[in-house]
Amino acid sequence: MSKLTLGAHPFLLGFDQLERLVERTAKSSSEGYPPYNIEQTSERSYRITLAVAGFSEADLAITVEDRQLVVRGRQTDTEERVYLHRGIATRQFQRSFVLAEGMEIGEAVIENGLLHIDLNRQVPETVVQTIRIKRSGK
Tens-digit pLDDT string for the chain (138 aa): 455 565 566 666 666 666 666 666 666 555 688 999 999 999 999 999 999 998 999 999 999 988 899 999 998 776 788 889 988 878 899 999 989 888 999 999 999 999 999 999 988 888 899 999 999 876
Angle at 19 between CA 101 and CA 41, to 5 degrees: 35
Domains contained in the chain, CATH given: 31-121 (2.60.40.790)
pLDDT value at position 70?
Answer: 94
